Structure 1
Amino acid sequence: MDILFGKTSKKKYDTALVFVAEDLKLGARGKILDDAVEGALVASIKNAPRFKGKLGQTHILPLGKGAHYKRVVVAGVGKAKELTDQKLRVLGGKLYDALKATGAVDVLMMPEEDGELAAGISNFVSEGVLRKSYFFDKYKGKKDDADEGAKLTSVTYDVDNSKALAAKFEATKNVIDGMELTRNLVSEPPNALYPDSFAKIVEKELKPLGVKVKVLDEKKLEKMGAGAIMAVGKGSARKPRLAILEYNGLGKKNSKPSMGIVGKGITFDTGGYNVKTSNMHWMQFDMGGAGTVAGAMKAIALNKEKVHVVAALALAENMISDEAYRPSDIITSLSGQTIEVLNTDAEGRLVMCDAMTYLQNEYKVETLVDVATLTGACMIALGNEYGGAFTPSDELWRKIETAGGESGDKVWRMPLDEAWDKEMKGAHADLKNLGDSSFAGASTAAAFLKAFVQEDVTWAHLDVAGVVWSFKPNDLWGKGATGYGVGMLQNLIKECAA
């Protein structure tokens, strides 16, 4: 779908859209439309008692033959003084659904010339429209009947300052393009997306944008002593990969990355010998952390941000075979710390710890953030609304909270404690990969990762298990991949580089 700025006589629009608040008063542009239809618009609003102008409510006036448009849509914005960026995004998502239901194809949006509100509508409403329009149908041979009808193909803003608003939206559109990469990766089935294919997709997407991509295969991983990721991946015929993505927008060859990011990329998780007994089909999105990181790196590169950042995608399949790792195995991580495997279904933290060590050793990063669909415990605590953030740094937490607030990615700070650090100490090895009980599972998992953070490195762990995939439609996405975290990570990278 195209988002355009500036009305043109070369294009025919089938739908005109104006906005009203809860007072239901038309602005100047709405009045022009009303005059053109001889007062029919105001009359139809008065005769629609259910239309209150609340956020996302729509009222539709069909027009007859010979009219300039097929229909006029009146969209409610609620209480104008209470509008936020996120409410405008939600408005965009609701409008997409309403416009699609009417059969609209080319829409002319006519916000009033209120500079700040018009800019917000053109930017954030457009973001909501595009995010809600995403649908993964790559493998559908026969489309649903609903997909065969008219499709919304363009939204044009009839505004005077079109060039300025278009330039502002370009940066937002680049983040949405990053989200699309994330959502495509998360949506791919595991027979198509596995460690090697994941790395190749990311390389194809990011290399042309100036991102350096280096992929370490199983031979290189084994040679350098990355025993944790190798243990998880050795049970699969599709061996693990560690994909390193580096973007340097500073133009300085000797600059050090201001931040390192690690993404968990378990492309399918059977649970290993501690096999999952239910909902294994959900595990196609157990690579959501790596998908989010890849999308954020694309957004950063598209926007040509003046930052230097490096990311590691820890890619593996957790399968069952005669070569698979077992409960009670003791493995040696890249850091040299040994790990007693108590449960093969606690595999994400194992691939992550080697990736964390690699970035700290090779790039000397001083700020490190990992993103992972790590625990069901975090889903139980926060549901599908919030990602969980674990960090001992109040300053880094403030940056994460601000970054998420600006992007609309809800995030909640979760507890760390020395008691959980002690709980993760192993009886027969330095560490164990599972806590002593089923309680505080998200915090004990974070405590395990914390053991791999080197001295003087500021670290945060983001558990996104409940938010990278939605089991029901939302105002900003349908059922499936959400794109959560891409905007937040981009904002955080910029903030940490400032």
Structure 2
Amino acid sequence: MKYQVSQQSAAEVQAACIVVTIDQSGKLSDAAKLIDEASNGFLTQRFEEGDIKGKSGETLLLPAVSGIAAKRVLLVGTGKEAPKATSAIKILNAIANATLKREGEVALAISELASDELPESWWAEQAAIAFTGNSYKFTETKPQPEDAPKQADSVSWIGSDVSAALLKGAAIGEGMNFAKELGNMPPNICTPTWLAEQAIALTADSSLETTILDQEKLAEMGAGAFYSVAKGSSEPGKIIVMQYKGAENADEAPHMVLGKGITFDTGGISLKPGAKMDEMKYDMCGAASVFGTVKALLALKPKINVLAMVTSAENMPAGNASKPGDVVTSLSGKTIEILNTDAEGRLVLCDALTYGIDNYKPASVVDIATLTGACMAALGNVNSGLFTQDEDMAEQLQSAAAYSQDKVWRLPLEDDYQELLDSNFADMANIGGPLAGATTAACFLSRFTEGTPWAHLDIAGTAWNGGAAKGATGRPVALLVNYLLNK
């Protein structure tokens, strides 16, 4: 889908559909007034007759109106007050859903919605994300219909030159779609080896270098925490290292993003209940978000260095799988008593943190993981959990989250929680008991990041939707891309 800027008026633009707005009091935007005047008050009549009430996100698709060039008019409600960020995204998604199946050009005459808080460039960026994201549909393992569904060819923004914002939004949208596709792929296809192949395919872009560390090599290196998880599966585990080199100084310290990529999580010997276990294919959505972020960076080409890592394995209950009570030695040399094999994400992540920090000396580290049900219970599917003791990191991630509306909520990471990980038989246990589960998981990871600015995002509640709407969300790609671009 192409995105472009148009200087034509709403009445002149030759599009398959022109989008204009009306608020809940019946006030038309200036663009809508042009169409209303050209059509002898047709839009005003629609409000007066109750066809549309102007509620936020409400849409009314109208046929060709005399006096204008567009073939259709989409009248969109904006509510009682100037839209805030949350309602703005609701409006944009409503527009995308109402117009995407129209072939040809969709013209957006909505620049008047811009404000000091939400400038025109923000609206344009979010519009591109909405259109790109709403065009996604998983079809890889479903029979294709004989007739492909219709889809808009292009989206035109009527207003200021916001080309850069449209490009950024399209790149983020494509990155989110890539993350959704990886997350939605069934686990018999999406294995650690398959994920490594996706990384290698991305190296067609010369600004990306990829290294694959296989399970046996990692075991030889002493990555005993990672190996304790991977060894229980017939699918070999891997750590995938992607280096995006965009900075003018090739030696500039990279910013590291690390994604948990458990392509299927049975819980291991600490077996999960059978209900909804199919959704454990989404336990690699942290990895998917890193892939999506790389995809967006390759499109945008920012002048930064990024170390994008994925630690991938299956967690299976085989005869050689780890058992509760086992003690393993991590790549850092620290020993870990495994009390619950379903707390495997932190085991694969800790060795990847050690490897990335020791070998690449990153300027900062963010890890992203579907790590704990405790975080999901606390925050639901609205906010991802943010953990860090670095105030600069917290501010940067919260700022990127507020801008992108890829929301986070900061949860405690105080030293007082560390003692919950005490073990009689190792340097630490891999769980901290029934209380503060999301925090003790973050405490565990923090022990492998000493001396490096680090933050942890627990996306267990935000990475996918269940039920009838089951599917990966593509979060937190938008947050990560904005965070890295702000660097």
| Counterpart residue identity of residue 454, structure 2 | W
The superposition leaves residues 29-50 of structure 1 with CA deviations (integer Å, 9 ceiling, x where unpaired) of 32332243333222222111x6
On the 8 A contact 2:121/2:162 being kept in 1, the answer is yes
| Counterpart secondary structure, 2:158 | coil
Q: When the two structures are superposed, what TM-score results if normalisation uses the length of structure 2? A: 0.91
- Given the superposition, is the C-alpha separation of residues 440 and 228 from structure 1 closer, same or farther in structure 2, using an over 3 Å criterion? same
CA distance in 2, matches of 1:64, 1:404: 41
The reply on whether 1:296 has 2:293 as its aligned counterpart is yes
Deviations 1:243-266 (A, max 9, x none): 111112113233222x22221110
State how far apart, in whole Å, the 1-side matches of 2:360 and 2:230 are: 25
Q: Distance in 2 between matches of 1:209 and 1:84?
A: 40
Q: Which residue of 1 aligns with 2:327?
A: 330
Tell me how far apart the structure 2 counterparts of residues 486 and 340 of structure 1 sit (CA, whole Å).
33
Report the counterpart of residue 42 of structure 1 in structure 2. Answer: 44
Q: Does 1:340 align with 2:337?
A: yes
Contact 1:45 1:59 in 2 (8 A): no
Ranges in structure 1 where 5+ consecutive residues have no aligned partner: none
Query: What's 1:205 paired with?
Result: 202
AA of the residue aligned to 1:33: I
Task: Give the AA of the match of 1:137.
Answer: T
Instruction: Determine if contact 1:6/1:159 at 8 Å carries over to the other structure.
Output: yes
Which SS does the other structure have where 1:358 is aligned?
Answer: helix
Report the counterpart of residue 256 of structure 2 in structure 1: 260
CA distance in 2, matches of 1:199, 1:481: 20
1:54 aligns with 2:55: yes
Trace 1:32-431 onto structure 2 (pairs within 5 A). Answer: 32-48=34-50, 51-63=52-64, 69-79=70-80, 82-99=82-99, 106-111=105-110, 119-143=121-145, 151-157=150-156, 159=158, 161=160, 164-208=161-205, 210-257=207-254, 259-277=255-273, 278-431=275-428
| Deviation of the 1:166 alpha carbon | 2.4
* Pair 1:324–1:51, CA change in 2 (3 A): same
Report the Cα offset of residue 337 of structure 1: 0.7
1:328-372 Cα distance to aligned partner (Å, 9 max, x none): 111111000111111111110000000000011101224222111
2:108–2:157 contact (8 Å) kept in structure 1: yes
Note closer, same or farther for the CA distance 1:396–1:14 as it changes in structure 2 (3 Å cut).
closer
SS in 1 for 2:205: helix
Q: Following the alignment from structure 2 to structure 1, what is the Cα–Cα distance between the partners of residues 141 and 52?
A: 40
Cα distance, 1:433 vs structure 2: 0.9
* Aligned partner (choices 433, 448, 471) of residue 480 of structure 1: 471
Q: Is the alpha carbon distance of 1:92 and 1:154 closer, same or farther for their aligned partners in structure 2, counting shifts above 3 Å?
A: farther
User: CA deviation digits over 1:408-432, x for unaligned, max 9?
Assistant: 1110111123332112122111111
**What is the alpha-carbon distance in structure 1 between the residues aligned to residue 114 and residue 279 of structure 2?**
45
Q: How far apart are residue 286 of structure 1 and its match?
A: 0.1
Distance 1:312 1:64 in 2: 53
Q: Whole-Å Cα distance in 2 between the matches of residues 112 and 318 of structure 1?
A: 49
What is the deviation of 1:224?
A: 0.9
Contact 1:375 1:465 in 2 (8 A): yes
Q: Give, in whole Å, the separation in 2 of the partners of 1:284 and 1:419.
A: 34
Determine if the alignment matches structure 1 residue 460 to structure 2 residue 467.
no
**Using a 3 Å threshold, how does the CA distance of structure 1 residues 432 and 157 change in structure 2: closer, same or farther?**
same
What is the letter of the counterpart of residue 107 of structure 1? V
In 2, Cα distance between equivalents of 1:333 and 1:114: 53
**Deviation at residue 148 of structure 1 after TM alignment:** 5.7
Query: Would you say the 8 A contact 2:16–2:105 is kept in 1?
Result: yes
Alignment-mate amino acid for residue 337 of structure 1: K
Task: Mark the CA change 1:29 to 1:434 in structure 2 (over 3 Å): closer, same or farther.
Answer: closer
* Segment of structure 1 superposing worse, 360-369 or 376-385: 360-369
8 Å contact 1:89–1:126 — kept in the other structure? no
**Where do 5+ consecutive residues of structure 2 fail to align?**
none
Q: Distance between the aligned counterparts of 2:136 and 2:168, measured in 1? A: 18
TM superposition shift of 1:235 = 1.1
Measure the CA separation in 2 of the matches of 1:187 and 1:304: 27
> 1:90, 1:125 within 8 Å by CA — same for their partners in 2?
no
Q: C-alpha offsets along residues 55-81 of structure 1, whole Å, 9 cap, x if unaligned?
A: 21123333489985553221122356x
Pick closer, same or farther for the CA change 1:398–1:272 going to 2, 3 Å: same
CA RMSD of aligned residues (A): 2.7
Does residue 448 (structure 1) correspond to residue 444 (structure 2)? The answer is yes
Task: Compute the displacement of 1:26 (Å).
Answer: 2.8
Structure 1 SS opposite 2:323: coil
CA distance in 1, matches of 2:253, 2:144: 50
Tell me the amino acid that sits aligned with residue 254 of structure 1. D
Tell me the CA shift for residue 84 of structure 1. 3.7
Alpha-carbon separation, structure 2, partners of 1:104 and 1:134: 16
Look up the SS of the partner of 1:141 in the other structure: coil
Q: CA deviation at 1:122?
A: 3.3
Indicate conservation of the 8 Å contact 1:5/1:159, yes or no: yes
Distance 1:69 1:355, change over 3 A: same
Distance 1:321 1:149 in 2: 43
Report the CA distance between 1:485 and its aligned residue.
Answer: 1.1
Deviation at 1:83, TM superposition (A): 2.6
Cα distance, 1:135–1:425 mapped onto 2, change above 3 Å: same
Determine the C-alpha separation between the residues in 2 that align with 1:112 and 1:491.
22
Distance 1:2 1:87, change over 3 A: farther
Whole-Å separation in 2 of the counterparts to 1:431 and 1:486: 32
The answer as to 2:484 corresponding to 1:493 is: yes
Helix, strand or coil at the partner of 1:287:
helix
1:439 corresponds to which residue? Answer: 435
TM-score normalised by length of structure 1: 0.89
Single out whichever of 133-142 and 402-411 deviates more from structure 2: 133-142
Structure 1: how far apart are the matches of 2:234 and 2:366?
Answer: 30
CA shift in 2, pair 1:14/1:333, >3 Å: same
Instruction: Find the aligned partners of 1:410 and 1:249 in 2 and give their Cα distance.
Output: 27
Contact preservation (8 Å) 1:206, 1:298: no
Identical counterparts, % of pairs: 35
**Structure 1 residues 23 and 379: CA distance shift in structure 2, 3 A:** same
CA distance in structure 1 between the aligned counterparts of 2:308 and 2:157, rounded to whole angstroms: 41
SS in 2 for 1:316: strand
Q: Distance in 2 between matches of 1:123 and 1:254?
A: 32
